[in-house]
Structure 1
Amino acid sequence: MTLTRHGLSIGIDRVGDDVFLALKAQGRLTHEDFKVISPMIDGALAGIEKRKVKVLFDVRDLEGWEIRAAWDDFNLSLKHGLQIDKIAVFGHKVWQDNIAKVANWFMAGDLKFFEHEADALRWLKG
């Protein structure tokens, strides 16, 4: 029997007025995954002023989204887009870089794709 793992892991840190979100996507994301994670993100970002959130998003193990999950992801981005200062996405596939470029069109903050986590962290801190 083979188990297929999928979902989003989240870590939230507040440092002074700044909020740091660490997200890790795994497998093929579903609508059910977003039903679980969206309230967590909503709660973490409640009351945050504009442009205070920095996101480190690990997509190395992401295989994609179901159509409904892609819509959920888009809506979540629209809902919190004005709170985001920077999103550093890191992975190793060309399509992940292309998705990051498209997502950047819908974000008020900066979004950049990296192949290495250390480079992503350095950019977030800079």
Structure 2
Amino acid sequence: MSVQLSEVAQGKYLEVHVSGKLDRETYQRLVPLAEEQIAENGKIRVLFAMHDFHGWDAGALWEDIKFDAKHFSDFERIAIVGERKWERGMAVFCKPFTTASVRYYNDSDIDEAREWLMED
């Protein structure tokens, strides 16, 4: 499992790159960083880029569900960037769990996703 995090636009935009399978331990390292950004900036925007991603294990999925319930309205926009059809389905699946505007972009369109996240 590989995860890279970076803050953009004074922390109002968080970029997360993942590969492999997301486990509970990795997820628990991500959550405090996202919560810190929310505490400092209010609503944030997130780019979630998946490269050779194999989903979540059961522990990480449970952590994700708890996080989504707690932060239902803390995300303004979410761009999901991926390379497979099932990843596109995640954008549709995520919508009931957030008030954010959610869009899917193919890997090759990551710059377009970044532009959308930076728009006013």
TM-score bin (small chain): 0.7 to 0.9
Matched with 1:101 is 92
1:48–1:83: 8 Å Cα contact kept in structure 2? no
Matched with 2:53 is 62
Matched with 1:121 is 114
- For residues 16-75 of structure 1, the C-alpha deviation after alignment (integer angstroms, 9 at most, x for no partner) is xx71100111100111111222122222221443xx311111112311110121111122
Moved beyond 6 Å, runs of 4+: none
Higher-Rg structure is 1
Consecutive unaligned residues of structure 1, counting only runs of 5 or more, are 1-5
TM-score by length of structure 2 reads 0.85
Consecutive unaligned residues of structure 2, counting only runs of 5 or more, are none
Q: Distance in 2 between matches of 1:119 and 1:61?
A: 20
Q: Distance in 1 between matches of 2:38 and 2:92?
A: 24
Q: Distance in 2 between matches of 1:104 and 1:7?
A: 25
2:80 to 89, 101, 120: 89
- Residues 35-46 of structure 1 correspond to what in structure 2 (within 5 A)? 35-46=28-39
The letter of the residue matching 1:93 is R
Matched with 1:9 is 4
Considering fraction of residues, name the structure with more helix. 2
1:77–1:107: 8 Å Cα contact kept in structure 2? yes
2:13–2:117: 8 Å Cα contact kept in structure 1? no
User: Number of residue pairs matched?
Assistant: 117
